[in-house]
Amino acid sequence: MAATSAVVESVVIVFVRAMNEWERAAWSARRSARDTDTPDSYWPGVAAALERLLAEFCTPRERPYGRLGSFQHPPEYDPELERVVGSRIAGRKAIVDTDRKVALGGGRRRYTLHRRGDRWLVDNVKQLVGDTWQKATL
């Protein structure tokens, strides 16, 4: 079955939505734990949830910069503020470009996906800085 742009674009859209949900849950867990005797108690659950999310949506490989468990409020990933603006597929590799309408880290992003078996997985993301695509953190 040949892949279509709609298929790879949907992978990115669902990934952005999942990251948004993770960031919101992480923020909530952190706020709930901050005034307790163990303010870092939220961390193991948040980190495990991120690992599961990356395992589901991303290629399995060493990510030296990872996300380092970073999250913010409002979330960095927001499906309401990031729109797909183009995509292309070449064999088992796809590129999906998006435009993010946010103050911090806004602008164009480029997701590279690889086909593994019957699934498309996010391998990396870059952001457009001037005229150059630079690595960004997933």
- In DSSP notation, 46-101 reads HHHHHHHHHHHHB--S--SS--TT---SS-S--TTTEEEEEEEEETTEEEEEEEE-
In terms of residue numbers, what domain contains 46?
5-136
**If residue 132 lies in a helix (H) or strand (E), which one and from where to where?**
strand 132-136
Beta-bridge mates of residue 93? 90, 114
CATH, residue 121: 3.10.450
Query: Residue 68's pLDDT band (boundaries 50, 70, 90)?
Result: low
Task: Please state, in angstroms and rounded to a whole number, the distance separating the CA atoms of residues 104 and 133.
Answer: 17
- State pLDDT tens for residues 94-125: 999 999 997 667 899 999 999 999 999 999 99
Which residue carries 């797909």 as its tokens?
84
Number of domains in the chain: 1
pTM of the prediction?
A: 0.92
| Mean pLDDT value across residues 81-102 | 95
